[in-house]
């Protein structure tokens, strides 16, 4: 009888989902055969179908067609290993029968071993079988958004044919972002079917839904241990190109709210001597895939390519690396490949290393280290870059960890795309921990910005980092999925007060104050003041505001005067404020002001007002001198 070589097991590795295929030979020729790539003896075709149900659970079906290239080598056993330990409903189908596999589950994953009951022998003969199971980790249903991440297959596996299909109920909406693009998108049985033909084992990411809403509960612990009144500033979650904030409440109300050069919303408080204040914020965040064109984009200054603490662009190591890695994509790929995620360094009390040191010691990096390395290399390559600090919403914290200081926060970088004129966020940490999911070309709806560090590498601090002595372990950040984002109308309070010099009101010169009374920022605001008196002229030193933040007060100088020679009189002004490039308007109740003489026309500049004030002082001094002289006589 002619001796047959039995194809038993050989080892393939799949990082996350499709995992390990064992192939070995079982006769005297075992040692020789083990050194060969399995594709030398077999043509392997794979069809993977991922069907998502109404609650976000994915049913996976891998169908293998393995064809013998040699007349004496054939398959008798097969083993699949995934890194997911909680696979359910594992089924093996072969020749219309259901085989009973040997399933072993532990902390490292699930192994599925199959013994085939027959021999498929002969060149050109094909064994076809399928492995099915349910997996709750491939898709995530968060609020109204379904997110799928299918990791890439190993580079060593060469498939003659590889096709993947994703089937998702129409109730989740049309796929808003898919990478790579599917060759076919169709509907069948009330479901979207995405087909990827011969995608060579590349990772697939798909998002169904383009907006996510989050509810934020934040606490800022402010403490003044000195004997004098102190100013304390906190960073409120800001609007960005991909994020819109609605502050439902902030208690206590800040003394002022201003935007800094990086776009942060900075609230200022006065803290009494030797006292503490807790600021409580309730807010909603709406995250979108496409940029919000209503939010003005802050173009980078030269400081965003400069050296900074933790971003040592001039170090010898960085200068050497940047010769090879000098584009955003090459920098991202290098960091994902080089650094190893681990919290062991922080667990042992370690501190922030910075871009140079973490690349010198890449074996224990956290999200801030990944981000520091990216910002450092990007700036060294003259690419403006900065650091986002905030919250990364993840159902699976082992795949998408957050490990910033304070509460469980996250850090990720962004770079300036000169062609798009846009800040582009990327996440090399999650690109590393998810086994190759692309967080460079395709971002997600899971990143909430609390603070932006650009001109400074350390400030402002994000929510969750404001701790008082003895209360460092308290949880100050709570994030949950929201249901809706309020579409509100603008509302402002407008006041006009006479401008005074040494307590004396200047006729026809006033200070106009406009306060945003809503929890949302309004952009491209214009203030118009009209008078009911045709003989009066109203002018303002500044009527356009690029942004009015929640509860912020904007001020400007207003002059009201008669266009003819006449005595001052009281006139009524009608303020109207338009925002969002004139698409929304707010009419305020009328305000009465004192109109001055025509000379007020020339008092629209601050320098003129200062000159008048100085003149008043001089006149007062002269009058005082005359009085003294008279008394001496």
Which tens digit of pLDDT belongs to each residue from 441-477?
A: 989 999 999 999 999 999 999 999 999 888 888 899 9
pLDDT at residue 185 tops 90: yes
Using pLDDT thresholds of 50, 70 and 90, give the confidence band for residue 157.
low
Contact between 129 and 97 (Cβ < 8 Å)? no
Give φ, ψ of 366 to 5 degrees. -110, 180
Give the per-residue pLDDT at 609: 54
Mean pLDDT of 596-607: 67
**Spatial distance between the Cα atoms of 383 and 160, rounded to a whole number of angstroms:** 41
pLDDT at residue 405 tops 60: no
**Spatial distance between the Cα atoms of 308 and 315, rounded to a whole number of angstroms:** 12
CB atoms within 10 A of CB 537: 17
Q: How far is CA 178 from CA 166, 213, 443, in A?
A: 11, 21, 11
Let me know if the fold of 302-481 is the same as that of 492-605: no
pLDDT at residue 427 tops 90: yes
User: In CATH, what class is 302-481?
Assistant: alpha beta
Which tens digits make up the pLDDT trace of 218-252? Answer: 999 999 999 999 999 999 999 999 999 999 999 99
- Angle between helix 367-380 and 328-338 (nearest 10): 140
What is the 3 state secondary structure string of 101-168?
A: CEEEEECCEEEEEEECCCCCCCCCCEEEEEEEEEECCCEEEECCEEEEEECCCCCCCCCCEEEEEEEE
Provide, rounded to the nearest whole percent, the portion of the chain with pLDDT above 90: 61
Residue (of 54, 66, 197, 212) closest to 127 by Cα position: 66
Where residue 627 falls (left for φ over 0; alpha for ψ -120 to 50; beta otherwise) is alpha
pLDDT at residue 17 tops 80: no
**Spatial distance between the Cα atoms of 417 and 291, rounded to a whole number of angstroms:** 13
The predicted model scores a pTM of 0.82
pLDDT at residue 586 tops 80: yes
Using pLDDT thresholds of 50, 70 and 90, give the confidence band for residue 623.
low
Mean pLDDT of 427-431: 96
The β-bridge relationship of strands 5-7 and 477-481 is unpaired
Contact between 171 and 178 (Cβ < 8 Å)? no
pLDDT at residue 4 tops 50: no
Domain residue spans of the chain: 5-207, 211-288, 302-481, 492-605
Give the per-residue pLDDT at 460: 98
Which tens digits make up the pLDDT trace of 64-102? Answer: 999 999 999 998 888 888 777 889 999 999 999 999 999
- Of the two residues 107 and 526, the one the predictor is more confident about is 526
Assigned CATH for 5-207: 2.60.40.1730
Give the per-residue pLDDT at 471: 85
pLDDT at residue 407 tops 80: no
Q: In CATH, which of 2.60.40.10, 3.20.20.100, 2.60.40.3880, 1.10.340.70 is domain 492-605? A: 2.60.40.10
Q: Is 26 exposed, middle or buried (0-12, 13-18, 19+ CB in 10 A)?
A: middle
Looking up tokens 């909406």, which residue turns up?
Answer: 173
Give the per-residue pLDDT at 232: 98
Give the per-residue pLDDT at 505: 84
- Of the two residues 324 and 199, the one the predictor is more confident about is 324
- Of the two residues 380 and 603, the one the predictor is more confident about is 380
């Amino acid at each position: 009888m002619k001796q047959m070589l039995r194809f038993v097991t050989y080892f393939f590795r799949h990082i996350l989902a499709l995992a390990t295929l064992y192939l070995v030979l079982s006769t005297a020729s075992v040692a020789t055969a083990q050194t060969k790539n399995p594709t030398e003896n077999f043509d392997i075709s794979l069809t993977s179908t991922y069907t998502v149900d109404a609650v976000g659970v994915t049913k996976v079906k891998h169908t293998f067609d393995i064809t013998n290239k040699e007349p004496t080598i054939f398959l008798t056993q097969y083993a699949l290993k995934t890194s997911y330990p909680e696979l359910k409903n594992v089924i093996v189908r072969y020749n219309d029968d259901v085989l009973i596999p040997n399933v072993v589950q532990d902390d490292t994953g699930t192994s599925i071993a199959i013994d085939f009951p027959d021999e498929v022998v002969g060149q050109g003969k094909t064994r076809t079988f399928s492995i099915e199971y349910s997996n709750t980790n491939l898709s995530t249903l968060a609020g109204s958004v379904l997110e799928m991440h299918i990791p890439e297959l190993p580079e060593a596996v060469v498939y003659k044919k590889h096709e993947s299909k994703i089937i998702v109920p129409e109730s989740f909406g049309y796929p808003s972002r898919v990478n790579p693009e599917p060759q076919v998108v169709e509907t069948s049985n009330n479901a979207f079917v995405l087909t990827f033909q011969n995608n060579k084992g590349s990772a697939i990411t798909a998002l169904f839904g383009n907006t996510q809403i989050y509810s934020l509960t934040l606490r800022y612990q402010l403490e003044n241990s000195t004997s004098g009144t102190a100013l304390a500033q906190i960073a409120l979650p800001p609007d960005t190109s991909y994020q819109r904030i609605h502050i439902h409440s902030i208690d206590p109300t800040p003394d002022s709210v201003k935007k800094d050069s990086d776009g942060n919303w900075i609230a200022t408080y006065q803290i009494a001597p030797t006292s503490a204040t807790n600021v409580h914020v309730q807010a909603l965040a709406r995250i979108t895939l496409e940029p919000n064109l209503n939010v003005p984009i802050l173009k980078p200054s030269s400081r965003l390519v400069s050296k900074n603490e933790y971003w040592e662009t001039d170090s010898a190591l960085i200068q050497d690396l940047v010769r090879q890695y000098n584009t955003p994509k090459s920098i991202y790929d290098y960091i994902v490949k080089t650094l190893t995620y681990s919290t062991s360094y922080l667990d042992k009390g370690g501190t922030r290393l910075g871009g140079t040191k973490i690349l010198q010691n890449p074996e224990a990096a956290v999200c801030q280290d990944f981000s520091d390395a990216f910002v450092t290399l990007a700036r060294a390559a003259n690419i403006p870059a900065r650091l986002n600090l905030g919250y990364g919403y993840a159902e699976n914290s082992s795949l998408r960890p957050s490990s910033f200081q304070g509460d469980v926060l996250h850090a990720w970088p962004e770079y300036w795309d000169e062609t798009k004129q846009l800040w582009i966020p990327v996440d090399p940490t999650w690109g590393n921990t998810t086994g190759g999911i692309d967080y460079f070309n395709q971002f997600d709806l899971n990143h909430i910005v609390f603070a932006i560090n650009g001109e400074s590498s350390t400030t402002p601090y994000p929510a969750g980092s404001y701790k008082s002595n003895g209360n460092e372990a308290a949880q100050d950040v709570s994030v949950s999925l929201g249901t809706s984002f309020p579409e509100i109308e603008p509302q402002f309070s407008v006041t006009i007060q006479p401008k005074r010099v040494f307590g004396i009101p200047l006729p026809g010169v006033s200070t106009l104050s406009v306060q945003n009374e809503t929890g949302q920022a309004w952009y491209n605001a214009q203030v118009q003041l009209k008078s009911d008196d045709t003989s009066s002229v109203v002018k303002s030193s500044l009527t356009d505001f690029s942004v009015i933040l929640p509860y912020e007060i904007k001020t400007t100088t207003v002059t009201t005067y008669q266009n003819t020679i006449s005595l001052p009189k009281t006139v009524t002004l009608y303020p109207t404020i338009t925002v969002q490039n004139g698409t929304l308007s707010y009419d305020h109740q009328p305000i009465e002001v004192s109109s001055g003489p025509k000379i007020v026309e020339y008092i629209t500049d601050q320098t003129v007002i200062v000159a008048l004030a100085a003149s008043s002082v001089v006149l007062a001094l002269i009058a005082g001198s005359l009085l003294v002289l008279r008394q001496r006589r």
